[in-house]
Amino acid sequence: MSLQTTGGAAGAPPTDRTARRRPRRDRGTDHAARGPHSSRVGSHLFLLALVLYFVTPLWWLVVGATKSNSGLFASSSSPLWFADDFSFVENVQQLWTYQGGIYFTWLGNSFLYALAAGVGATVLALLAGYGFAKYRFRGRNAAFALLLGSVMVPLTALVIPTFVLLAEMELVNTRWAVILPSLLSPLGVYLVRVYAQDVVPDEMLDAGRVDGAGELRLFFQVALPLLRPALVTVLLLTVVATWNNYFLALTMVRSPDLLPVTVGLAQWQALSSGGAGGETLWNLVVTGAFLSVLPLIGAFLALQRYWQGGLALGAIK
């Protein structure tokens, strides 16, 4: 009798109290499921606000490059939308002819400074960072600590001592005065060392040494292909820093034919603001600034696949 009662109790349908408890758990589960979704919506809105904040000045530059000098200051024209007269071609033609087309000389100088400094700084950072990562020598930690300390020093604080040093070497007002100081990249050395420690295994190098490979062969055939994402990162950082380095070129260079595009446009802006040329140069300043941004955007787009390879390698590790 007791077995039948027990079996009947076990096989009986759930009571109303049990049935009422289940929706409560379901509602809690639904609330927990809605929680991450709402947080994702909030984070997406925040990221969208940041995108708008950073893209708006670039969009204004694109729109301003298509306006004439009068259209930039017309009250009827929206600053964030195109005017009726599309003057981008005329602005580029004025850049080509104004002062003998000196703008494109400045643009070529920026290309030269950024490319020479970028390649040179990347090579030096590669050699120094790989040496710090894979070789043991006396004073290595102290030297690397000094290197990290130099990262904290603002570059503008070093311009005046660098000017005095280059003046003693009679290199002021030459292209070397801009290229040589830009070859040093403590941040690049740090990035290469950190990346080489994780990506280039010591066991692989030891196996190569056992097989009879020399240090140069190990460096070029084993380590260098693995360090490609780090090298591209250092190259882009150095190129962008040299391209945008206004104060160094302003201090070191006096000849108009040696100026980079940043200093040259600043001089045109000073002429327009000071009343010497009225507002006739503002369209040239805006269009020139827009054209000077395009090479950097192209470099990032062309080299982004190397960054993606480095991210995938880090995920695998």
Residue 291 in domain: yes
DSSP state of 12: S
Instruction: Tell me how many degrees the CA angle 71-76-77 measures, rounded to the nearest 5.
Output: 45
Write down the pLDDT at residue 80. Answer: 83
d(CA 125, CA 192): 7
CATH code of 110's domain: 1.10.3720.10
Average pLDDT over residues 7-36: 50
Average pLDDT over residues 268-281: 69
d(CA 195, CA 182): 22
As a whole number, the mean pLDDT across the chain is: 84
Average pLDDT over residues 257-262: 95
User: What is the per-residue pLDDT across 170-228, written as a single tens digit (0 to 9) for each?
Assistant: 999 999 999 999 999 999 999 999 999 989 999 999 999 999 989 999 999 999 999 99
d(CA 156, CA 153): 9
Full residue range of the structural domain in which residue 211 is found: 94-316
Query: Would you give the distance in Å from CA 69 to the centre of its chain?
Result: 32
Residue 64 in domain: no
The DSSP-derived string for 94-119 is HHHHGGGTHHHHHHHHHHHHHHHHHH
In the numeric block, which tokens belong to residue 7?
A: 């079996």
Q: How many CA atoms lie within 13 A of 272 on its CB side?
A: 15
In the numeric block, which tokens belong to residue 259?
A: 């100026």
Instruction: Tell me how many degrees the CA angle 86-91-93 measures, rounded to the nearest 5.
Output: 120
d(CA 143, CA 51): 40
Radius of gyration over alpha carbons of the chain, in Å?
31
Residue 167 in domain: yes
What is the three-class DSSP state of 154?
coil
Region of 13 (left: φ > 0; alpha: ψ -120 to 50; beta: rest) is beta
Write down the pLDDT at residue 151. Answer: 85
Instruction: Tell me how many degrees the CA angle 278-282-283 measures, rounded to the nearest 5.
Output: 130
Residue 300 in domain: yes
Q: How many CA atoms lie within 13 A of 123 on its CB side?
A: 6
Residue 28 in domain: no
pLDDT band at 71 (very low <50, low <70, confident <90, very high): confident
d(CA 95, CA 286): 11
CB 230 within 8 A of CB 195: yes
Average pLDDT over residues 62-79: 83
Residue 306 in domain: yes
Residue 53 in domain: no
Q: Is residue 2's pLDDT more than 50?
A: no
Average pLDDT over residues 220-247: 92
Q: Is residue 34's pLDDT more than 60?
A: no
Number of domains, the chain? 1
Burial of 63 (0-12, 13-18, 19+ CB in 10 A): buried
CB 171 within 8 A of CB 251: no
